Chain A
Amino acid sequence: MNNSSRNNQAGRNNPADRNNQADRSNPAGKSRVSTSTNAVAENTMDIVNQGLSRRYNAEKRFRLYGICAIMLSMAFLAMLFISIIGNGYTAFQQTFVKMDIFLDPETIDAQALQDANYQGMVKQSLNVMFPDVKTRAQKRQLYGMVSNGSAYQLQDFVRKNQHMIGSVIPLWVPADDDVDMLIKGHISRDVPETERRIKDVQLSWIDRLQEQGRIQKRFNTTFFTAGDSREPEQAGILGAVSGSFYTLIITLVLSFPIGVATAVYLEEFAPKNRWTDIIEVNINNLAAVPSIVYGLLGLAVFLNFFGLPRSVPLVGGLVLTLMTLPTIIISGRAALKSVPPSIREAALGVGASKTQMVVHHVLPLALPGMLTGTIIGMAQALGETAPLLMIGMVAFIVDIPGGFTDPSTVLPVQIFLWADSPERAFLERTSAAIMVLLAFLVTMNAVAVFLRKKFERRW
């Protein structure tokens, strides 16, 4: 201990001694060198100092560019959300008109309820409410103020309440989409009548109805319980949501096992040779193939070659399976890679076979990561539109699909279809459908993030 500290001291002293010796031996030389270095240093420092403010400004500018870039993307994101929510939030409400309908026992035959003229009864009660409307043209405008789905609503009501036949019943029926838009303020009263979808005379009727308290905005249940329709006030997303559901079930059932199996094979079993190289390059390429090409594949192979039916979730699921497989395989391999080799060696060391090692030890540890990747792949599949257009899932389908081989459409395609419709009311419904779709996607991604956070292990 003592020894070493003394040595250290000696070591530290040594250079100083040498310097002293140098100073003593050549004082003149030393001073000359030092002045010249000082001069050079001052010159250099001057140059550096001169450039310094310019360089600091460049630094600030560079940082600013970075912040601007991020702020710009955030601004785009905000603009997107604001425009969609701003356009769509009103779609969750629907204007209803209260009608007093006389259930005429003359026209309703209790034996044949579906044959009665319900449309006529709705029109009759409108006539009673506005007795001053006489001309044919005006009558047509008057009848156009309530949804033509109200007759079905009335039929349902009568079927459930047969004892009410013969009395006058108050019934809230959905208003026509133009009236709905006016009440929600999307149609301005200030524009000239010729450019407005609601005429002045209709405006006066609406005012009268409002004075009588016969117009009310209520939660739009139709939007969540109906299929597609040409009439905005009767259109809903349930058909599209169930189509998406069946499609995703097929996709999940096929792509998860196949994806996991492929990842396990490539990561744990495959020998490093040309063949597995080809498979790997293939998978990486497939991940970047445009989705519409998968649609062409589905059209040519599944529809034309195998003769599967058009517009069904089964084919949609098959196409989306092929499309999401690369995502699942790549994330699955990453999850398997993150399991440390020591686990494998320990399992093999106690006599497990390779399959046992994978099934009993590696796979359970890698599963959360694989699940995360699968959920993200499913979210991608849920938002995908283009390949489904190719296999005919773009048809106008009113019925709500009840199985894997019922013609159906999916939520993004429904959005695409509605976005093409000219009615103002479909604009808000499109935005609302987008909000629903985004809600699903956010939920799925949140689950994925939660899984990752919860089961992530650092080795």
Chain B
Amino acid sequence: MSSSNLLLVLLMLTASGYFLGRRRAVAVAVARGRSQQILHSRPTYYGALAALWCALPALIIFSFWHVFESSVITQLVIAGLPPDMQALPSDRLGLVINDIKNIVGVDIVPQKIHPAIQAAADHYTQLTAISNATLAVIVTAIAIAGILWVQKIISPELRARNHVEIMIKYLLVACSTIAIFTTIGIVLSVLYEAIRFFKVVPFHEFVFGLKWSPQMAIRADQVGSSGAFGAIPVFMGTMLISAIAMCVAVPIGLMSAIYLSEYANKRFRAVAKPLLEILAGIPTVVYGFFAALVVAPMIRNAGVSIGLDVSSESALAAGLVMGIMIIPFVSSLSDDVINAVPQSLRDGALGLGSTHSETIRLVVLPAALPGIVGGVLLAVSRAIGETMIVVMAAGLAANLTVNPLNTVTTVTVQIVTLLVGDQEFDSPKTLAAFALGLMLFVITLILNVIALVVVRKYREQYE
């Protein structure tokens, strides 16, 4: 039975459990010779209790089974292989397993199938079938047992509502811990691979090295066998592009927020604000395409016409477009904080005879400054973590330069180029991506925490 069918059966069992539980509760009450009023809870709750006890344990078993199924079956298949195959080194063994899975999946059928592999593939199919059948039986049995057990304990004294509510509450708690597990998952996965990387390349070499060329020799005597993993050029590139983006986004975003919240009339605001938000809703891959197709050639032509040597993948193009992308982000965050400044401050300044712009510059902006700084920090962390624009518009060459007309590379570009395509998980080249990812996570985390603290502190001031 396939897993979707099994889930469907489980759903039907759950539904029937609900109706059976409800009917049983009514029946018990009637059997006592009185109406439903002697029941502790309304009949629905008895039904819900039966449904929960039917579905939850079965679902838990189901998901655990699926998590461990494939690795257990693979182990069993390996154990069933002829001994000379089992003795192969782990990477060759992995290839053999891959072959077996391909034959099972009927994706690619190679011309000549080794009889042992064919046997193993049959073994694999057989084991999968056994596993599926067992799972189906176990899940159905547990679901039915749950229904029957609840049927048995249903009595007018059973506090079904309280039971159901406690179970719901635990479900809610479980859901809310997913956020924590996500963070732990990110930290552990990135950290684990990064530590493996730092065993090969020392930490100080990575953080302070000036040369980035992530190659590793396949053979020791190969030309260009010395890979260099100094991340300074990559960090510099990231900072350069982010700085250009901020130079575009902060003035434009801040001024539009000021104009929209302080000057614009209602009609202008009603038109301009959604338009700005469209800018925020455009996927980054579209910006990347725009940068590579329109902005980069434009900058290059402009540069060439005034006699400058502009790279076709200049940092300026990527930074400029990234800045455009971040404008709405800066503008909506500053809009919020500017609106949170109490009107009395403005009235006071205007009453003393200052002009509108003086009020804004000397009173409103200083009052809103912490919030604006927080928003800008969030924007910086966004620029640092932005991927698609730089992948499509910035280069791969890790130049250590601050010239915006040159091509530079960024952390995210390197992660993508190192990890897209075929990978082997023991080469420092692949692991370097995780080390970069760790740096990215840590830096953006620090920026976010500072920004959140600043914003939160500021909000408390005026509430």
Contacts and interface: CB of A to CB of B under 8 A. Distances in A.
Contact of B165 (A58, A83, A355, A382): A355
Interface in A61-89: 61-63, 65-70, 72-74, 76-77, 79-80, 83-84, 87
A219 B196 CA distance: 55
A355 B162 CA distance: 10
Interface size bracket, B side = 35 or more
Given A288-B381, A293-B186, A353 B179 contact: no
B109 to A, nearest CB: 16
Contact of A292 (B182, B192, B381, B415): B415
B324 interface: yes
B387 A285 contact: no
B14 interface: no
A316 B421 CA distance: 16
Contacts of A325: 178-179, 182
A278 B282 CA distance: 32
Contacts, number: 252
A430 B290 CA distance: 11
B327 to A, nearest CB: 5
A286 B185 CA distance: 12
A390 interface: yes
Interface stretch (B133-141, B204-212, B254-262, B398-406): B254-262
A412 B285 contact: yes
Interface in B322-380: 324, 327-328, 331, 353, 355-358, 360-361, 378
B420 A394 contact: yes
B444 interface: yes
B292 interface: yes
A438 interface: yes
A187 to B, nearest CB: 17
A261 B382 CA distance: 28
Nearest to B252: A69
A224 interface: no
A264 interface: yes
Given A84-B290, A258-B175, A282-B180, A73 B279 contact: yes
Nearest to A431: B289
B325 to A, nearest CB: 9
Interface stretch (B120-128, B228-236, B433-441): B433-441
B34 to A, nearest CB: 22
What secondary structure prevails in chain B residues at the interface with A?
Answer: helix
A59 B357 contact: yes
Interface in B424-452: 425, 433-434, 437, 440-441, 444-445, 448-449, 451-452
Contacts of A261: 171-172, 175-176
Contacts of B441: 289-290, 293
B307 interface: no
Contact of A293 (B284, B386, B437, B449): B437
Contact of B281 (A294, A296, A379): A379
A80 B282 contact: yes
A386 B275 contact: no
Interface string A281-312: 11111101111111011011100111100000
Given A355-B165, A386-B388, A416-B285, 14 more contacts: A62-B357, A62-B360, A66-B256, A270-B176, A285-B449, A289-B445, A290-B387, A296-B189, A325-B178, A383-B286, A386-B387, A386-B412, A386-B416, A419-B288
- Pairs A-B, 7 closest by C-beta atoms: A290-B385, A66-B259, A383-B283, A300-B189, A69-B255, A62-B357, A386-B387
Interface of A: 48, 55-56, 58-59, 61-63, 65-70, 72-74, 76-77, 79-80, 83-84, 87, 257-258, 261-262, 264-266, 269-270, 278-279, 281-286, 288-294, 296-297, 299-301, 304-307, 322, 325-326, 329, 353-355, 379, 382-386, 389-390, 394, 412-413, 415-416, 419, 427, 430-431, 434, 437-438, 441, 445
